[in-house]
Amino acid sequence: MRKNIHRQFRQILQQLNKYIQRIFKSGNNRQIKPIYFMLLGMVVVFIAISLDITTELSVTGVAASTHKTSWLGNTFGGGDKWVQNNIEAMYVAPNGTVYTNSHWDEAGREAGIYKDGNVIGILEDTHGWSRIGGKAVIANSKYIYIALGQGAIGNTDQDYPPDGTTWHTVRRYNLSGKPAPFNGGRGWDKSMLIISNKSEVTGLATAANELYVSDSATNQIRVYNSETMQELRSFSVVHPGAITIDKQANLWVIQQNKISRYSPTGKQLPQQITNVAKPTAIAIDHQGRLLVADNSQRQQVLIYDIKNQPVQVGTFGIKGGVYAGTPGEVQPLKLYGITGIGADTAGNIYVNSNGFNNSGTDLRKFSPSGKQLWQLHGLLFVDNADADPQTDGVEVFTKQEHFLMNYNQPTGKQWTYKAYTLNPFKYPQDPRLHASPDATFVRRIQGKPFLFLTNMYASFIQIYRFNPSKDGKIAIPAGMFVGTNAEGKQSVGGNWPPYQPNKGEWIWRDRNGNGAFDQGEYDQSEDYPYLGGWWVDNKGDVWKTLRTHDGIGIRHYPLQGLDTHGNPIYSYSSMQKQKTPSMFTDLRRIEYLPETDTMYLSGFTVDHPAIGDDTGIVGSEIIRFDNWSKGNNSTPRWRIVVPHDTTGKREISTAAMSVAGDYVFAVKMKTAEVYVYNAKTGATVKTLKPGPEVASESGWIDIPQGIRAFRRSNGEYVVFVEEDWKGKVIIYRMKG
């Protein structure tokens, strides 16, 4: 297009040049001045057109000055640096190098290496080929050892397990993170030591040239030569978990709710610690003291003198952790969900908090006096953010976290982790502890903030309220919608929540205000079981689409007010059924804007039908209807055909959409490109891609609400996009 415009412009100049030459030859010089200004004006217009075309054809869709890429939730933006999803085990070397292990990291850093507040390495080959990490890690002066699970992939000739079998192994690495094979090693590269086929390794420790392994399946601690990896001996320990070795070469072993001491040969010694409610990690500090993480309501590290009988001589961290003082408010010495502790020879203390139900990594280093020296975050996984509309985008929430934004700060530094909003001790039935929600809607109802959470399969929506005077920053369970089970069973399988109806669907409201699912708090119904999407409008009304073919696939639950505890009230008796516009064959997303009476719907249509049944995507079209409440469901204002699969290979599809201000935003599933459309006309405006600030990369969009847009009072658009691959949310800032 640009070449054609340039060619046309040259042709015009050539014609004008011939005309000017004729004027000069005729001696009519008075005509030269207006010709000059006409040419100057054309040049200006041409430059403007060229810039506009350049903008439309640029890689990101707009010039660098009109949009920026940033992120929140992870200390690093991507490329070679990101903090893994959930650290479940940690070892701190004498020099302060931190080695970690976790069952899963989307980008493959199940086992990472950190130092001085930086990512310095990764243990290779822990991801894919039916491999996962684990919950134990240790290192000596030569090797790193991690618990690793190896499942079957059908290649037993390459030394993989047979079908139906998982090897629970210790895998050995050199200190640079590459597998270190040994004679008799198993797996494709001979670096694995098979411990069990029944349950995973639960503890690792080294002393001199020996490696100690907790084999919980057989209630044994097995001892191996750390160089040859040959078994030397084993001894019985009931429920062996995490291990550490003191300066006398004796073992301290967590055994569920007690900690016992054993000699290197397995003799049980008289020292025990039995008054720690929930020990989850142990380590020896530079003074030879025993550090024990208590993950109960104390949320502290307990410090013991173990020269004789263990005597508690101190604690680290504020008692009550993140729930002390203002509950939920994040501060350096307020811990939450402790999974790892350690110390270096300088006396510095390292603590990892994972939150609860694997909320995310929060790794901190403290000086001996308790001053926080650095902090690393990998907080988000299968999650997206939304802004509190009353704060102009300054306060932002994800499913468990509360952030403060300062848009004047540099890229990646604009967010501050303000609060952790889940309290498992006061609200043990919080749905976030029992289900897997993801993206957040933040809404104001009667001026009060509420969170609404959906999930990857659009099977429910959870509702949370706040009560700052009693609960600080904690989001209190207030309500929940679920869909009908297709097999006529309970909507939510298992033992939670209690008292739920045996079949159909239900709305739960916390009628007594205790944040628990109690008898008599359910409203029950039954409906078509296949859901397309959820929406909560700015009035607090809840909307749901059904992928039904009976022509009545929209459910509207008008807000009936707030009860005496501040919970939103919804009911099936007030629910309204609305017709599906006839052009849809499979209705998916829904966004209704009551302030303009505008409805945006997406799905597959008669003109652009589905190929197969890709359940998690927007569909083939987004369609806008005006005057929706007046019954207009047949005359669209416009229809946008969005990228969708037309081959059956599912390589191209649009995962999620969001409407804000003058634009409709839609994000593709595999490439994470954001298409921006004019909300008035449906015309394509521009395309946004992850910029160099996030290494120009993104993982797939996995959730129905994988994009959320917000227009600030200055006209700027803030667009949040899920980015699971490297544990963050991408932020686009775009001028209006």
Reported as a single tens digit per residue, the pLDDT across 427-454 is 999 999 999 999 999 999 999 999 999 9
Mean pLDDT across the chain, nearest whole number? 92
The per-residue pLDDT for 179 is 98
Is 230's pLDDT higher than 50? yes
Is 166's pLDDT higher than 90? yes
B/e letters for 646-684, b = 16+ CB within 10 Å, e = fewer, are: eeeeeeebbbbbbbbeebbbbbbbeebbbbbbebeebee
Q: Is pLDDT larger for residue 92 or for residue 31?
A: 92
The per-residue pLDDT for 7 is 41
pLDDT digits (tens, 9 = 90+) for 500-520: 999 999 999 999 999 999 999
Is 45's pLDDT higher than 90? no
> What sign does the CA torsion over 268, 273, 279, 280 have?
negative
d(Cα 581, Cα 599) in Å, to the nearest integer?
11
Is 22's pLDDT higher than 50? no
Is 32's pLDDT higher than 90? no
248 — pLDDT class (breaks 50, 70, 90): very high
d(Cα 674, Cα 671) in Å, to the nearest integer?
9
Identity at 440, one-letter amino acid code: T
The per-residue pLDDT for 17 is 45
Tell the burial category of 104 from Cβ atoms under 10 Å away from its Cβ (0-12, 13-18, 19+): middle
pTM of the model: 0.90
The per-residue pLDDT for 193 is 98
The per-residue pLDDT for 156 is 86
How far from 686 is each of 52, 66, 122, CA to CA, in Å? Answer: 11, 11, 37
Is 31's pLDDT higher than 80? no
489 — pLDDT class (breaks 50, 70, 90): very high
pLDDT digits (tens, 9 = 90+) for 176-207: 999 999 999 999 999 999 999 999 999 999 99
With tokens 């229809």, the residue in question is 639
With tokens 């070397």, the residue in question is 93
The per-residue pLDDT for 736 is 85
d(Cα 386, Cα 721) in Å, to the nearest integer?
10
23 — pLDDT class (breaks 50, 70, 90): very low
Is 49's pLDDT higher than 60? no
Q: Is pLDDT larger for residue 34 or for residue 412?
A: 412
157 — pLDDT class (breaks 50, 70, 90): confident
With tokens 């243990």, the residue in question is 123
Is 324's pLDDT higher than 80? yes
The per-residue pLDDT for 266 is 98
With tokens 């929140």, the residue in question is 72
pLDDT digits (tens, 9 = 90+) for 466-477: 999 999 999 999
Residue 514's φ and ψ, nearest 5 degrees, are -95, 0
